[in-house]
Amino acid sequence: MDVGHARLIGDVVDAIETCSGHLLTTHLHDNRGRTDDHLVPGQGVVDWEAALLAFQKVGYDGAWMFELAVATERRPVLERAVKARERFESLLNIGDEMMGQPGSDPE
């Protein structure tokens, strides 16, 4: 599922639901709604909370792969990608299963 492309042709949630049961991986990127910008999620118009909820609703448990545009200055893009990943983890409650487990660091 290419979320950025889905947004360009219509509704992301509808696309995810339509592909339910056939999703193998993701291409996660954002855009401004008119061109295939390959922005870091959260830098464009995609409603990521709704998209991630739709992925959960259809039972997707595969890879979350960012597909970002090449930039002259890579460090700022990578820093924004880290923040986007952390937001995804928070919204999806990823990592919570390790809290309180032996060997986990609570801080």
What are the residue boundaries of the structural domains of the chain, listed by start?
3-98
Which of 55, 82, 54 lies closest to 68 in space, CA to CA? Answer: 82
Percentage of the chain with pLDDT > 70? Answer: 88
The pLDDT, as a whole number, for residue 20 is 94
Each residue of 39-61: pLDDT tens digit? 999 999 999 999 999 999 999 99
User: Taking the mean position of all CA atoms in its chain, how far away is CA 7?
Assistant: 13
Instruction: Assess whether pLDDT exceeds 90 at residue 84.
Output: yes
Quote the pLDDT of residue 94: 80
